[in-house]
Amino acid sequence: MWDYMTALQRRFLVVSQQTQDAERDAEAAYDTLHAELNREQQRLLLRLHDAYTLHKDDAALDSFISGFRLADGIHRELAKIPPYSYEQESEELGREAMQ
């Protein structure tokens, strides 16, 4: 499911100019700081950068999935389709993970 939602996110993601500018500024600051640090500190900075990037990507996907579920729920309500049980889906995913 995550691969499908990631593909949907990539298809419909719109990145604002403000976000692009902020990312460019952050990368410039990272590069400047990286150049000033010794090897050990550079490794630590890289670990921090990697962890933050992973967190940011996961949070963005979680946000997209939440919005997708909200839109699906609104659509089902307006179309008078029985609601999909996201709680049941979560329980099933949990059982699959336990196996």
Residues 6+ apart with CB under 8 A from 76: 82, 83, 84
Assess if residue 25 is contained within a domain: no
Q: Which residues of the chain have pLDDT under 50?
A: none
Assess if residue 11 is contained within a domain: no
Assess if residue 23 is contained within a domain: no
Within 1-99, residue ranges assigned H as helices are 2-12, 17-36, 39-78, 86-98
Nearest to 60 by CA among 21, 23, 98: 23
Assess if residue 7 is contained within a domain: no
Residue 1: its pLDDT value, please? 67
Residue 87: its pLDDT value, please? 78
Residue 3: its pLDDT value, please? 84
Q: By residue range, what is the domain housing residue 57?
A: 30-98
Residue 46: its pLDDT value, please? 95
Assess if residue 55 is contained within a domain: yes
- When divided into structural domains, the chain yields a total of 1
Assess if residue 65 is contained within a domain: yes
Assess if residue 69 is contained within a domain: yes
pTM over 0.75? The answer is: no
